[in-house]
Amino acid sequence: MKPYAEMTKEELLALTEELKKRYREMQNRDLKLNMSRGKPSLDQLDLSMGLMDALTSDTELQDETGTDCRNYGCLEGIPEAKELLGDIMEVPYDHLIIYGNSSLNVMYDTISRSYSHGVMGNTPWCKLDKVKFLCVVPGYDRHFAITEYFGIENVCVPMLEDGPDMDMVEKLVSEDESIKGIWCVPKYSNPTGNSYSDSVVRRFARLKPAAKDFRIYWDNAYTVHHLYDDHQDHLIEILAECKRAGNPDLVYKFASTSKISFPGSGIAALASSLNNLEDIRQQLKVQTIGHDKVNQLRHVRFFGDIHGVVEHMRKHADILRPKFETVEDTLERELGELGIATWTKPKGGYFISFNTMDGCAKKVVSYCARAGVILTPAGATYPGGKDPHDSNIRIAPSFPPLEDLRIATELLCLCVKLVSAKKLLEEMG
Amino acid sequence: MKPYAEMTKEELLALTEELKKRYREMQNRDLKLNMSRGKPSLDQLDLSMGLMDALTSDTELQDETGTDCRNYGCLEGIPEAKELLGDIMEVPYDHLIIYGNSSLNVMYDTISRSYSHGVMGNTPWCKLDKVKFLCVVPGYDRHFAITEYFGIENVCVPMLEDGPDMDMVEKLVSEDESIKGIWCVPKYSNPTGNSYSDSVVRRFARLKPAAKDFRIYWDNAYTVHHLYDDHQDHLIEILAECKRAGNPDLVYKFASTSKISFPGSGIAALASSLNNLEDIRQQLKVQTIGHDKVNQLRHVRFFGDIHGVVEHMRKHADILRPKFETVEDTLERELGELGIATWTKPKGGYFISFNTMDGCAKKVVSYCARAGVILTPAGATYPGGKDPHDSNIRIAPSFPPLEDLRIATELLCLCVKLVSAKKLLEEMG
């Protein structure tokens, strides 16, 4: 098959008829498949069922210092959970606070606190006329939704091959005092799957923000979520790099075990400088008496230590890898030479980012839906759901069984071909 | 022993010398006891160890509609948990949202949301010059700390025999638009242990607040926490009463299983009108993907239903009742006829409220501390830690073993006698 752009009008017309026919056939198969959600599959969830046996009625529910995990107290988490999450997040034990089940909720709290009380003595954002946030795009819709909910203006910064456009980040951040933060998924990014290069991390740590209360929101959602054993991304640890650069307070780092153990029943944590943690404690001690220490203990007993987590993630990878490869192989086979789409080939994380020709993504998602395959809504990876190019689609290969995934990807390819061919025909007039 | 007020100076001097001697003897016993914290004892925690066996690796972790509790989703809680908490809170299934482990955190979120986003379209509190909150005193310090943290002025309303001074509440609320809420613990109140009468609940439901966004914060912390089987307080259900009174949106009701199962590892809930819940959902869906459904399922499997909870609370009562009675009997025996103190005799909850003569509470707590018995700091039951009479002390009988509790209460009585006698002597000049 030759690239669509090289086809004559007659060739495209014939192709479109053929694709329409195949699309109708697919519609008749009455599919009900879903590639929209970055959630673990049943097989993956089964990997953590041992969590349910990690504590029994015969277990002494005390942490290593003798604190009864069943009772009130221990606001910042039990020591062994801090050590485990510290190892996952690559930060020292005393630089993190353990929270509840959701790192998203920790990020929400962080924005909410900055809004109502300000960051380290700076003016609360609710008292400012204008607050802006940088959003690396394509990115994670739930990040953008938090800042949007607080009336903060989301400003897009494009994700390049090796991280955000740092020229743009440096310029905006140094010139505009109303920019108070940036949403980042630095490793196996959502949705592109690529990771920030050493150079990008170093430039982040050396930012010179106009706003004293500017913070990098470093969502380390996929820090141990590799697809390969010998082929992994490794990032410079941002907290340490900020400290070396003389900017120790520049970053909040978030993580959770949501995609390690069970989504919604894991433990989350926030890591930062001691100064930032002290600032956060002023809220924390008013907000709660403590998070779920029994669940912290359960996780520690189940995983043992960081090596246990690594071994566990290897099992996740064994389930996820064939799914990513199936999607990638299908895309390559069906679209590889047509010049109508590009996509990423991540070494970890939960997503593949797929780009159609400009102006085609919404139509592709709609065509897929009408043939029974649900994709993440086009535009969802941009603030306000508005992709200026209407080209990005987030593919989430984790949840469907392998065979469903193959069929769904084939349908996606068919729809991309059909929509692209029609688009080219339209352009010919 | 005759009332201290009837003693001559000589009698008081002799008494003081005698009490000092006994106090020094107590100091020599090198006690280390703690009556400060409203936390369950080890015996009580042991009652819920079955929770740890309620789910195992062989359990199907699906809710009754087939939702996999291990995965993302189900933002407002699984149906059977909503039913169980609804039964505990005496509200219909569809009038509540299940949260994480802490009802205090839900209250914090509620204040925080009102501050940043306003209540049902009303002006966010952060945009107002002045916001006030009514605090029933003596009351719960952590309530007062939340409003204080948001710069809200805490205004005291005295707790009477059958609830807050409703004449004062009605007057303040109807006249002052800056009053946006009231902190209440309506049943087995913290710390007085008494409950709001039918008349008080009816008057609450019929409040005519000047502020459209005024809400009653009804912290139902001790709703099933009876000490006796046949001798219980029963309140008119506030949500239903508000609805009958034509004020359906007037109340937020909070509860958790913290003192039913494990503090910090239970489940919390918020109940309110459908209108209020819809308002709250706008925050909730941005804040988190969902709370810990596995723990919700664990609680449902362990307790079964509301009758299971009632049976379970009977076991708690069997442990708590002798402790309350030991404190009350000791107080009665030691102080009953002296006219220097009063205290409450609750039928449930976690506290006994103790009142010294004016100006003595801080000294009593300090004397106790110097003899090895830690009490809740005097004043803690008032906003800002300031008891205008310096008379209220919160006694928490739950945690210490029975024998410790008897000794601690005896020391408390001795310190009350000593401080009171000295005070009376001072007044004689």
Contact A70 B48 (CB under 8 A): yes
B241-248: average pLDDT: 98
Q: Which residues of A238-268 are buried (b: 16+ CB within 10 A; e: fewer)?
A: bbebbbeeebbbbbbbbbbbbbbbbbbbbbb
Q: Which of B42, B69, B150, B289 to mutate to test the interface with A (most CBs of A within 10 A)?
A: B289
Candidates B179, B252, B266; CA nearest to B219 is B252
pLDDT, tens digit, 9 for 90 and up, residues A336-363: 999 999 999 999 999 999 999 999 999 9
pLDDT, tens digit, 9 for 90 and up, residues B313-346: 999 999 999 999 999 999 999 999 999 999 999 9
pLDDT score at A429:
82
The pLDDT > 90 percentage for chain A reads 98
Tokens 């209020």 locate to B276
Contact B156, B383 (CB under 8 A): yes
> Which residues of chain B from 21 to 40 reach within 8 Å of chain A, CB to CB?
37, 39-40
Residue of A nearest to B148 (CA): A286
Residue B240 CB burial class (10 angstroms; 0-12, 13-18, ≥19): middle
Candidate from A40, A117, A146 with C-beta closest to B71: A40
pLDDT score at A1:
78
Contact B287 A104 (CB under 8 A): yes
The ipTM value here is: 0.96
> Which residues of chain B from 291 to 310 reach within 8 Å of chain A, CB to CB?
291-295
Contact A71 B289 (CB under 8 A): no
Residues of B with Cβ-Cβ distance to A73 under 8 angstroms: 264
Residues of B with Cβ-Cβ distance to A108 under 8 angstroms: 286-288
Q: Which tokens belong to A154? A: 């989301």
A192-203: average pLDDT: 97
d(CA B12, CA B205): 50
Contact B290 A50 (CB under 8 A): no
Mean pLDDT value across chain A:
97
Residues of A with Cβ-Cβ distance to B115 under 8 angstroms: 116, 126
Candidate from A49, A102, A104 with C-beta closest to B57: A49
Contact A348, A231 (CB under 8 A): no
Candidate from A69, A264, A288 with C-beta closest to B292: A264
pLDDT, tens digit, 9 for 90 and up, residues A262-286: 999 999 999 999 999 999 999 999 9
Candidate from A56, A112, A264 with C-beta closest to B112: A112
Contact A294 B116 (CB under 8 A): no
Candidate from A71, A146, A292 with C-beta closest to B101: A292
pLDDT score at B355:
97
Candidate from B53, B289, B294 with C-beta closest to A262: B294
Give domain B61-304's CATH number out of 3.30.70.980, 3.40.640.10, 3.30.70.3270, 3.60.21.10.
3.40.640.10
Count Cα neighbours of A123 within 13 Å in the Cβ-side half-sphere: 11
Q: How far is CA A400 from the centre of its chain?
A: 19
Question: Residue B122: pLDDT above 90?
Answer: yes
Tokens 């009585």 locate to B413
Contact B101 A100 (CB under 8 A): yes
d(CA A178, CA B15): 69
> Which residues of chain A from 231 to 270 reach within 8 Å of chain B, CB to CB?
258, 262-265
Confidence class of residue A18 from pLDDT cuts 50, 70 and 90? very high
pLDDT score at B400:
94
Candidates B416, B117, B124, B94; CA nearest to B287 is B117
pLDDT, tens digit, 9 for 90 and up, residues B370-391: 999 999 999 999 999 999 999 9
pLDDT, tens digit, 9 for 90 and up, residues B168-216: 999 999 999 999 999 999 999 999 999 999 999 999 999 999 999 999 9
Annotated domain spans of chain B? 4-44+310-428, 61-304
d(CA A98, CA A96): 7
Question: Residue A83: pLDDT above 90?
Answer: yes
Give domain A61-303's CATH number out of 3.40.640.10, 3.60.15.10, 3.40.50.300, 3.30.800.10.
3.40.640.10
Q: Which tokens belong to B363? A: 């000294």
pLDDT score at B429:
82
Residue B3 CB burial class (10 angstroms; 0-12, 13-18, ≥19): exposed
Q: What is the DSSP letter of B62?
A: B
Question: Residue A258: pLDDT above 90?
Answer: yes
pLDDT score at A234:
96
Q: Which of B45, B61, B72, B111 to mutate to test the interface with A (most CBs of A within 10 A)?
A: B72
Contact A59 B52 (CB under 8 A): yes
> Which residues of chain B from 107 to 146 reach within 8 Å of chain A, CB to CB?
108, 112, 115-117, 124, 126-127, 142, 145-146
CA distance B27 to chain A (A): 28
Question: Residue B99: pLDDT above 90?
Answer: yes
Residue of B nearest to A286 (CA): B146
Contact B264 A291 (CB under 8 A): yes
Q: Which value, in Å, is the radius of gyration of the alpha carbons in chain A?
A: 23
Mean pLDDT value across chain B:
97
Contact A105 B70 (CB under 8 A): no
Is the torsion defined by CA of A410, A411, A414, A420 positive or negative? negative
CA distance B315 to chain A (A): 17
Question: Residue B1: pLDDT above 90?
Answer: no
Residues of B with Cβ-Cβ distance to A289 under 8 angstroms: 102, 104, 142, 263-264
Tell me if the bond preceding A346 is cis, omega within 30° of 0. no
Tell me if the bond preceding A138 is cis, omega within 30° of 0. yes
Count of A-B CB contacts under 8 Å: 159
CA distance A63 to chain B (A): 14
CATH, domain range B4-44+310-428: 3.90.1150.10
B279-284: average pLDDT: 97
- Confirm or reject contact between A199 and chain B (CB < 8 A): no
Residues of A with Cβ-Cβ distance to B57 under 8 angstroms: 49-50, 52-53
pTM of the model: 0.96
Residue of B nearest to A296 (CA): B265
